[in-house]
Amino acid sequence: MADDPLAPPAALAGDVTVPPAVAGAEPVQSVCTPIRLSYTYTPGRALSRYLQAMAGKRILGERCGVTGQVFVPPRGVSPLAGTTTAGVVELADTGYVDSFNITRVPIERRPDLKPPYCSAWIVLDGASVGFMGLVINIPPEEVRIGMRVRAVWKPDDELETSAANIGGWEPTGEPDEVIDDYERLGRVGGQQP
Amino acid sequence: MAAERTAVIGVGQTKYAAARRDVSIAGLLREAAYRALEMAERTWSDVDAVIIGKAPDFFEGVMMPEVYLAEALGAVGKPIMRVHTAGSVGGSTACVAASMVQSRVHRCVLTIGWEKQSESNAMWALSLPQPFATSVNAGAGGYFSPIIRRYMMMTGAPELIGCMVAHKDRRQALLNPYAHLHQHDLTFEQVVDSPMLWDPIRYSETCPSSDGACAMVLVDEASGDAHDGPVAWVHGTAMRSESNSYGGRNMVSPAASEQCADDVFAQAGIVDRRAEIDAVEMYVPFSWYEPMWLESLGFASVGEGWRMVESGATALDGGDLPVNCSGGVLSSNPIGASGMIRFAEAALQVMGAAGEHQVDGARRALGHAYGGGAQYYAMWIVGSGKP
């Protein structure tokens, strides 16, 4: 290895010859070129059902015909079995906090979210997997793993075909779930594959 | 027919920094590639193929950059192959490069991983809005901190274990001239007092955002035998992936991680992992991932990884299993290169070429990388002797 590890490699150490036409010009180190990408999102059948039900304040999951596991939001497939899901399951809008984080930095796309705020893995009653959601109407430092929560829906006149219809999850005041291990979720709704 | 024995004979790294404005993307890669070629005593004409990896194209906004980079990497008229496995990509790229030699498709391969984060916006690239999910994560920390909280709850680990890891890695980075962060006067108390970003993750417990590239030259057995410089022999490579969402998924120690580790240790014939490995370069972008991976990789039993950290077992100075002697991802994070840096630093250790952060007499070392929602894994074990 070279004696000075930060010295340029020999092949790159020589002087750069600048064409006469641009000699003396200020070297350009970078240019900023903003880019944009607009697209139409096609959610597919499973997510279309889920998003349409959301507009009516209902939460649809889908069940795996092999393992019995229930997925929400549904993608139409069961990751472990490698099969398409077998049927639709309507889920309650209640569940618990599997784990959480208290974010103290702003997020670019959500100027409405004022730090600190609590985001959490929410596991709905009867579901085998969790998803990320906001925990609201409680100081973040009082949120607990296992805390029972329910959905806080947007006003009816603001409902869309979007998961954003649920503005957050608030404590129900029920006793906490006992969280022992991750495997427990594999047993929800079916047997461990 | 047995696989061709494969040797690493060259490692090249750039200086890692928040912004390498002195070089273009192509110039950044050439710096690492030429250093690797110099160490290997090779030129571009000796290279049969180039295997290149980086994180998503969204980062720099250059689509399929391997096409534009082929000329800068001496690959005109030669095979060039792009690997993409999110944050683990640097490791996966090295595994693919090794497979090109092991399968006797090529005799001499240059492999390189890179990222120029100063020309990109990673948080933007990682949080594209989707109608079926609410956008509540401020970057990767928002995703990983609940998993860390679960680890803390399940093991009862003391609250400051993560700070111990961060302080150790930043101290060790001072011995590595290529490391991005050189915080000479950083005290443990300053780490503890740094602001919480994604509680329980503090600012000082997170990786920086870096520009950088890392390259290696891999050759077949005859070329490795004939090489008169330092050599690291590949003893095993493994990759695994899994869905990031299924019922019963252990998010602290995913099945893909454990199975990938079992595979690579079996290939290397290693039974007692802690005793038989001399140095580990593991992917630790958030400090708590050191004790978590110590358990998942089988260096500690479940719930005991934090005790290794607390006892100093993973420190270069006095530990029996030094982890991230280079300073690790916590000290340098050019994302697409970060996995390859782990693999390359493992090679440097068994070559005896790691300089100030050398583990005395290191004979076998593990390089490790993970990516996505802790769902993509790449690992290799390298040794000073032939497998």
Report yes or no: B335 and B289 within 8 Å, Cβ to Cβ. Answer: no
pLDDT of residue A1: 46
Q: Is residue A1 part of a domain?
A: no
Q: What percent of chain A has pLDDT over 90?
A: 62
The pLDDT tens digits for B158-208 are 999 999 999 999 999 999 999 999 999 999 999 999 999 999 999 999 999
Q: Do B196 and A104 touch (CB under 8 A)?
A: yes
Q: What angle do CA B36, B38, B44 make, to 5 degrees?
A: 80
pLDDT of residue A190: 42
Q: Is residue A98 part of a domain?
A: yes
pLDDT at A2 exceeding the cut of 60: no
Q: Is residue A49 part of a domain?
A: yes
Q: Is A176 helix (H, G, I), strand (E, B) or coil?
A: coil
Q: Exposed e or buried b for every residue in B23-33, given b needs 16+ CB within 10 A? A: bebeebbbbbb
Among A106, A131, A182, select the one facing B251 at the smallest CB separation.
A182
Binned at pLDDT 50, 70 and 90, residue A188 comes out as low
Closest CA to B144 of B218, B198, B88, B214: B198
Q: Which of A29-33, A176-180, B216-220 has the lowest mean pLDDT?
A: A29-33
Domain count, chain A: 1
Q: Look up the domain containing A83 and give its range.
A: 44-180
Set of chain A residues whose Cβ sits within 8 Å of the Cβ of B249: 129, 182, 185-186
pLDDT of residue A105: 84
Q: Which of A5-14, B12-21, B187-196 has the lowest mean pLDDT?
A: A5-14
pLDDT of residue B379: 98
Per-range mean pLDDT, top range of A109-113, B53-57, B120-124, B169-173: B169-173
In the stretch 158-177 of chain A, residues with CB closer than 8 A to chain B read: 161-164, 166
Q: HSE (CB half, 13 Å, CA atoms) of A30?
A: 15
The pLDDT mean for chain B works out to 95
Q: Do A101 and B142 touch (CB under 8 A)?
A: yes
Q: What is the average pLDDT across B144-171?
A: 96
Q: In the structure encoding, which two tokens stand for residue A77, read together? A: 């497939």
Q: What percent of chain A has pLDDT over 70?
A: 93
pLDDT of residue A193: 35
A80 touching B (Cβ < 8 Å)? yes
Q: What is the average pLDDT across B107-126?
A: 89
Chain B contact probe: residue of A101, A110, A180, A185 with most B CBs at under 10 A: A101
A112 pairs with which residues across the strands?
none
The pLDDT tens digits for A152-176 are 999 999 999 999 999 999 999 999 9
Q: Is residue A56 part of a domain?
A: yes
Q: What is the average pLDDT across B240-259?
A: 94
Set of chain A residues whose Cβ sits within 8 Å of the Cβ of B373: none
The pLDDT tens digits for B21-47 are 989 999 999 999 999 999 999 999 999
pLDDT of residue A43: 87
* In A45-174, beta strands by DSSP E: 59-63, 70-71, 77-78, 83-84, 87-91, 94-103, 117-124, 131-135, 148-153, 166-171
Closest CA to B374 of B250, B288, B199: B250
B231's CB contacts (< 8 A; 6+ apart) are B7, B8, B9, B224, B351, B384
Main-chain dihedrals φ then ψ at residue B82, nearest 5 degrees: -100, 135
Q: Which of A117-126, B135-144, B273-282, B358-367 has the lowest mean pLDDT?
A: B135-144
Binned at pLDDT 50, 70 and 90, residue B306 comes out as very high
Q: Is residue A173 part of a domain?
A: yes
Measured CA to CA, the distance from residue B316 to residue B296 in angstroms comes to: 21
A30 touching B (Cβ < 8 Å)? yes
Q: Do A133 and B243 touch (CB under 8 A)?
A: no
Q: Which of A40-44, A85-89, B130-134, B233-237 has the lowest mean pLDDT?
A: B130-134
Domains defined for chain B, CATH in brackets: 6-122+209-226 (3.40.47.10)
Q: Do B243 and A79 touch (CB under 8 A)?
A: yes
- What was the ipTM of the complex prediction? 0.90
Report yes or no: B85 and B92 within 8 Å, Cβ to Cβ. Answer: yes
Binned at pLDDT 50, 70 and 90, residue A184 comes out as low
Q: Do B247 and A119 touch (CB under 8 A)?
A: no
The pLDDT tens digits for B125-137 are 776 667 667 667 7
Q: In the structure encoding, which two tokens stand for residue B315, read together? A: 């420190």
A113 touching B (Cβ < 8 Å)? yes
Q: Is residue A147 part of a domain?
A: yes
Q: In the structure encoding, which two tokens stand for residue B275, read together? A: 């005793």
Q: What is the average pLDDT across B76-88?
A: 94
C-alpha pair distances (Å), A177 with each of A146, A173, A184: 5, 12, 12
Length of chain A (residues): 193
Q: Is residue A190 part of a domain?
A: no
Q: Do B127 and A109 touch (CB under 8 A)?
A: yes
Set of chain A residues whose Cβ sits within 8 Å of the Cβ of B135: 107, 109-110
Q: What is the average pLDDT across A121-125?
A: 95
Binned at pLDDT 50, 70 and 90, residue A192 comes out as very low
Measured CA to CA, the distance from residue A51 to residue A68 in angstroms comes to: 22
pLDDT at B310 exceeding the cut of 70: yes
A39's CB contacts (< 8 A; 6+ apart) are none
pLDDT of residue A32: 82
Set of chain A residues whose Cβ sits within 8 Å of the Cβ of B61: 33, 35
Q: What percent of chain B has pLDDT over 90?
A: 88
Q: What is the average pLDDT across A58-72?
A: 95
pLDDT of residue A180: 74
Q: Do B150 and A145 touch (CB under 8 A)?
A: yes
CA distance A34 to chain B (A): 9
pLDDT of residue B157: 96
Measured CA to CA, the distance from residue B245 to residue A73 in angstroms comes to: 10
Give the predicted TM-score (pTM) of the model.
Answer: 0.95
Chain A residue with the nearest C-alpha to that of B14: A6
Set of chain B residues whose Cβ sits within 8 Å of the Cβ of A188: 247
Q: What is the average pLDDT across B355-364?
A: 98
The pLDDT mean for chain A works out to 88
C-alpha pair distances (Å), B139 with each of A5, A6, A85, B146: 33, 32, 31, 13
Which burial class, exposed, middle or buried, applies to B245 when counting CB atoms under 10 A from its CB (0-12, 13-18, 19+)?
Answer: middle
pLDDT at A21 exceeding the cut of 80: yes
In this structure, what DSSP letter does residue B74 have? T
Q: Is residue A61 part of a domain?
A: yes
